[in-house]
Amino acid sequence: MLDLKANPFFLDDKMEKWVYDTLAGMSTEEKIGQMFCPVGGNTEEGFLKEFLEEYKPGAIMYRPMPAAEIQKTHRFLQEHSRIPMLFGANLESGGNGICSDGTYFARPMGAAATDDPVQAYRLGAIAGKEAMAVGCNWAFAPICDLDLNFRNPITNVRTFGSDQKRVTTFVREQLKGLSDQGVAAAVKHFPGDGVDERDQHLVASVNSLSVEDYDKTYGAIWQEVVDAGALSVMVGHILQPAYSKYINPELKDEEILPATLSKEILQGLLRGKLGFNGMITTDATPMVGFNTSMKRSQAIPAALAAGCDMILFNKDIREDYRFVQEAIADGRLSMERVDEAVTRILAMKAAMDLPGKKERGTLVPGEEALSVVACGEHRAWARECADKSVTLVKDTQNLLPISPDTYKRIRLYLLEDRLEGGFKDGDGAIGLVKEKLEKEGFEVTLFDYSRPDFHEMFEGGVEDIQSKFDLAVYVACLDTASNQSVRRIDWLHLMAADAPWFLNEVPAMFISIANPYHLLDAPMFRTFINGYTPTEEVVDQVIDKIVGRSAFQGVNPVDPFCGVWGAEF
């Protein structure tokens, strides 16, 4: 029995009546539309009006675009939708999750490296304030995953680290920051990513912890999330075999399904054991991890039947909409389950006061609200977070601080993505490093990947290297991105020509402004720095610290040595 007056909705009589009156006045087609959150792309008003009339979606998500443009689009959609809409965004790292010109505050692991929960609150507050300025009211954040496997290519800096207590504290603060700005959270990725070393965008991954170990780690975090009143939870395409069989001992191994399709995980664990009463959304259904479990015509209605209330994204919305219609017609999806799902969606909207805001005309603010996007205060907070987060992992050669007096000539190696792909939080600032080092008085030459020096590779030796530079600085920006199976150093395939074979003759340091685990592939570096977030603010703080203008303050939210013997030397 649904209780709309209980956590997390806490509806009064008036709002509860709105939910049930609205439900009673909806056609089956409107109810189906309410359970979809397609991804937006086209912002042309004629297209949007036709789309709303045909599908009547309950939510929509746009990828980041200029604040003025996305605000205009959100306003048009709200004005032309009978039922107020949820507008989602990946507000994981700041307002840049919805506004391409918004504040890129910090990756969650960067906030965690400060060991200051205030930074997690600010992460939520900045993201929430800038999102609300453009009418975005639903955050696909915080991320509750534990980064227990350093090989996982998608959790990584998107998490608050591997320590359950720190993750719990920082998730709670980010939730509060979002809530204080009026933004609802879709906390993710239930039941928990980061145990497997694979990306659930590419395969249904596995949380292989025992029931006991799960309860002490992920379960403890999720209980905090439920108790804190999160309105929605995003469920991943992640299997949890131990709990699936604990809930249903008759279940065969080959019958275990990803959480998005699993009654055991959705009803038994999330709704039952953890007591979650809010709205459940799938993670993106175009992911391979969702589509390979069964035919899509079966999977879309099966996710709803299992307990998901909303379908996130589509391959072809016409097909997906039809799949739900067909499942209702042949009894695979009951109208009772549809009504329950839609009731929770409407209750979430009521708890966010979206009906009241629609009446008052305040669902999307005026253009004057855009002044908060990337405002001075938010940029100052981003600089403070960067200052506190940059972490000196090791300097066993006592190289730091450096100056032009001791190491005038620098050879700079930029290790970055050389292929397009994946959705990143923003462009990396790695290209600014050369200019900033030169401003400090260093003579900087850039290793040229487009024109390899064959003499240096095949004929030059120690004296050749020593004649060219006094210090090698490696800066890596291999940022977490979806749909990639690894995030590791890939030395130049020709003779590993960019690898530091010479570091016993010419000193070298390694700076990562993204992935914190590069000591796995480069344990030979005796000076290693982690920055976690590829922004200009982080690059500025790294430069300040290596030249001795400020002290390193960051802590390690994970084991940067990856358990590799000798990596700490």
Using CA atoms, how far apart are residues 429 and 539, in angstroms rounded to an integer?
7
What are residue 88's DSSP bridge partners? 61, 138
Nearest Cα neighbor of 237 from 195, 288, 275 is 288
Spatial contact of 343 and 309, defined as CB atoms under 8 Å apart: no
Record the tokens describing residue 329, joined without a space. 């017609």
Record the tokens describing residue 13, joined without a space. 């009589």
Look at residue 15 and give its three-state secondary structure: helix
Helices (H), ranges, 361-426: 376-389
Nearest Cα neighbor of 517 from 551, 470, 483, 564 is 564
Record the tokens describing residue 314, joined without a space. 């589509």
Burial 408-422 (b: 16+ CB within 10 A, else e): eebbbbbbbbeeeeb
Spatial contact of 162 and 557, defined as CB atoms under 8 Å apart: yes
Q: Label residue 215 exposed, middle or buried (CB < 10 Å: 0-12, 13-18, 19+).
A: middle
Look at residue 411 and give its three-state secondary structure: strand
Spatial contact of 38 and 57, defined as CB atoms under 8 Å apart: yes
Give pairs for 253-259: CB < 8 Å, separation 24+.
Answer: 257/293, 257/306, 258/204, 258/289, 258/290, 258/293, 259/190, 259/191, 259/235
Amino acid identity of residue 251, one-letter, is L
Amino acid identity of residue 91, one-letter, is L
Strand 279-284 to strand 310-312: parallel, antiparallel, or no bridges (unpaired)?
parallel
**Angle at which helices 335-351 and 13-24 cross, to 10°:** 140
Amino acid identity of residue 93, one-letter, is S
Tokens 């024109």 appear where?
451
Using CA atoms, how far apart are residues 260 and 265, in angstroms rounded to an integer?
8
Nearest Cα neighbor of 35 from 320, 265, 292 is 320
Catalytic residue positions, numbered: 283
Record the tokens describing residue 493, joined without a space. 């395939």
Spatial contact of 476 and 441, defined as CB atoms under 8 Å apart: no
Look at residue 409 and give its three-state secondary structure: strand
Query: What are the backbone angles phi and psi of residue 171, rounded to the nearest 5°?
Result: -60, -45
